[in-house]
Structure 1
Amino acid sequence: MWDDHTQRTDKGFEWYYFNLTYRRKMIRTLWMTPLVLVLYFLLRFIGLDLMYTLIFVGVGLLSHILQLAYNYHMWNKYERNIS
């Protein structure tokens, strides 16, 4: 990846997730949190069994939480310690 964090976007709109700073990645991940609820209702709407729905939503929620924790950790490690 990049060792130079100055190439990453911290202000304005950036289409590509990987061009964002860790702080902005964390913010974008927080904005995506309601999609877990949308995923649940979408899976129930298409008629998936409740057990499978809960498994899919649980895996999605777990990965979402891990991504949020990783971005927070990296933000603390690299960007908050610079200033």
Structure 2
Amino acid sequence: MSWISATIYRNKEKVDKGFVFAYYKLSYRRKLIRILWSVPLVILCLIIIYKLADWSQIEFILFSGILIIGIVMQFCYVFAKWKKYERHSLKVEL
């Protein structure tokens, strides 16, 4: 399903102000902000899972590690794309 949204919003103008529900409609800067806002929610979910799930310590650490690595990788990717887009747009303006 996500490739459908990505295809629909591929060449459309991205939104940099205001609330937008569709992730693919956001600019890279706004995607980065959304990732940062999601970190406390992920931590809260991990705490709830730790308290309620009947997982062993190793299972929980493995799950948490994979989730955190995924978030860090997504953050690094979007940050790099944002900086690349920012540099490209500055060259176009000059």
Bin of the TM-score, shorter chain as denominator length:
0.7 to 0.9
Amino acid at match of 2:49: L
Matches within 5 A, 1:31-42: 31-42=37-48
- Hey, what does 1:82 align to over in structure 2? 89
Q: What pairs with 1:23-38 in structure 2 (closer than 5 Å)?
A: 23-38=29-44
Higher helix proportion? 2
Alignment of 1:39-58 (within 5 A): 39-46=45-52, 47-58=54-65
Report how far residue 78 of structure 1 moved: 1.2
Name which structure has the greater RCO, CA cutoff 8 Å, separation 6+: 1
What runs of 5+ residues in structure 2 fail to find an aligned partner?
1-6
Deviation at 1:81, TM superposition (A): 3.0
Structure number with greater Rg is: 2
The TM-score normalised by the length of structure 2 is 0.77
Q: CA deviation at 1:30?
A: 0.5
Q: Which runs of 5+ in 1 are unaligned?
A: none
SS of the residue corresponding to residue 64 of structure 1 reads helix
Identity, in percent, stands at 32
Preserved CA contact (<8 Å) 1:23 1:75: yes
How far apart, CA to CA, are the structure 1 residues paired with 2:47 and 2:57?
Answer: 11
- Tell me the distance in 2 between the aligned counterparts of 1:54 and 1:80: 38
Q: Does 1:7 align with 2:13?
A: yes
Q: Are 1:16 and 2:1 counterparts?
A: no
Deviations 1:61-83 (A, max 9, x none): 00000000000000011134312
